[in-house]
Amino acid sequence: GPKVLQIPSHQIIDMGQMVTLNCDPVSNHLYFYWYKQILGQQMEFLVNFYNGKVMEKSKLFKDQFSVERPDGSYFTLKIQPTALEDSAVYFCASRQGGDTQYFGPGTRLLVL
């Protein structure tokens, strides 16, 4: 089926540094999402993005978070500065016009 790619698969950084998580969504998809999953817990919605704009964000999407997709390249999630509680697996998802969201394999972020 359709594949969403995420780069890198793992990232370890020091608290306070900036990190950018990259998502390569399915090529003809229009809607993009980030979710956060702390180890052993449920998946939680962070943000959705359409037509170059944030459509909706949750309370987990702190001021230190930002998303963009410059010129149809990667859909990115940037965290600046990072905090210890940002350690989690971050999943990107995309969909076309229908409702099925396709998820990437996740980026495992560890903030030390």
Which residues contribute to the site for another protein (CB under 8 A)? Answer: 1, 31, 33, 35, 41-45, 48, 55-56, 89, 91, 93, 99-103, 105-106, 108
CB of 31 to another protein, least distance (A): 8
Residues 6 or more apart whose Cβ sits within 8 Å of residue 31: 48, 49, 50, 94, 95, 96
Residue 70 CB, nearest distance to another protein (Å)? 22
Please, which residue, 37 or 66, has the CB nearer to another protein?
37
DSSP string, 36-66: EE-TTS-EEEEEEEETTEEEEE-TTS-TTEE
Q: 71 or 98: whose CB is closer to another protein?
A: 98
**Rounded least distance, CB 9 to another protein, Å:** 10
Q: Which is nearer to another protein, 9 or 17 (CB)?
A: 9
Report which of 85, 87, 90, 6 is spatially closest to residue 44, judged by C-alpha positions.
90
d(CA 1, CA 83): 35
